[in-house]
Amino acid sequence: MNILVLSGSPRKGGNTEMLVDAFVESASQKHNVEVVSVRDYKINPCIGCNACFQHSDHSCCQKDDMSLVYDKMSKADMLLIASPVYFYGLSAQLKAVIDRCHNPLRDTFHISKMGIMLVGAATLPELFDSILVQYRLCLNFFNVEDVGQVLVRGVKDKGDIKKSDALKKASDLGLNI
Ligand SMILES: Cc1cc2nc3c(=O)[nH]c(=O)nc-3n(C[C@H](O)[C@H](O)[C@H](O)COP(=O)(O)O)c2cc1C
């Protein structure tokens, strides 16, 4: 498979990135894996003009790096999203990428599998609930299969994730797809 990873933390070398690295190392043994670290791309939020629905080539009126991501998505069989929890949601940088998929171009994609990896500082059981509701609704809407989730509580500072078994879980997810 071609696996596209959308890595959503603006913090370089942080917990999300370490999780992504563990996944990529194992998944790369059997699959082509590409990582888009969203902080490296200039991607504006969707402005809701719906011009992409009028344009014959479905081009977006915003000329930014999202065109590069559309191209990568068009080649992907699987999408993995990874994000820190920001106020019980995804990072704004990653949410901007997701919202820009409100574009008919997505109907030309052949992504049939998805996974999700999330990290947050709190330890409360419901930490990921709001994100996982959105995730499941999107899976249903697009008829996409969930291949697995790595959900990591209690990691705040850079490197905290090494104190948990999460890197092993991310590696196992990469091995088992
Ligand atoms: C703007 C902001 C909002 C955050 N909101 C939450 C939150 O709602 N719940 C939580 O448990 N942690 C929250 N955190 C903590 C991060 O999720 C946590 O530090 C995480 O490990 C950061 O991941 P990273 O190292 O990949 O950047 C927040 C951090 C920031 C910077």
Q: What atom in ligand 1 is closest to the CA of residue 18? A: 26
How many CB atoms sit inside 10 A of residue 167's CB? 19
Name the pairing type of β-strands 32-37 and 78-84.
Answer: unpaired
Q: From the alpha carbon of 87, which atom of ligand 1 is closest?
A: 8
CB 142 within 8 A of CB 101: no
CATH no. for residue 7? 3.40.50.360
Divide the 177 residues of the chain into consecutive groups of 10 and give the mean pLDDT of each group: 98 98 98 98 98 97 98 98 98 98 97 98 98 98 98 98 97 97
Q: Ligand 1 within 6 A of 93 CB?
A: no
Specify the residue with its C-alpha closest to ligand 1, atom 3: 86
Number of domains in the chain: 1
Which two structure tokens, joined as six digits, stand for 73?
Answer: 């998505």
Q: How far apart are CA 97 and CA 49, in angstroms?
A: 16
36: which strand partners? 6
Judge if the beta carbon of residue 88 lies within 6 A of ligand 1.
Answer: yes
Q: What is the pTM of this model?
A: 0.98
For residue 16, give the ligand 1 atom closest to its CA: 26
124-155 pLDDT, tens digit per residue, is 999 999 999 999 999 999 999 999 999 999 99
Q: Is the CB of 11 under 6 A from ligand 1?
A: yes
Q: What residues make up the domain containing 108?
A: 2-176
Q: What is the pLDDT of residue 38?
A: 97
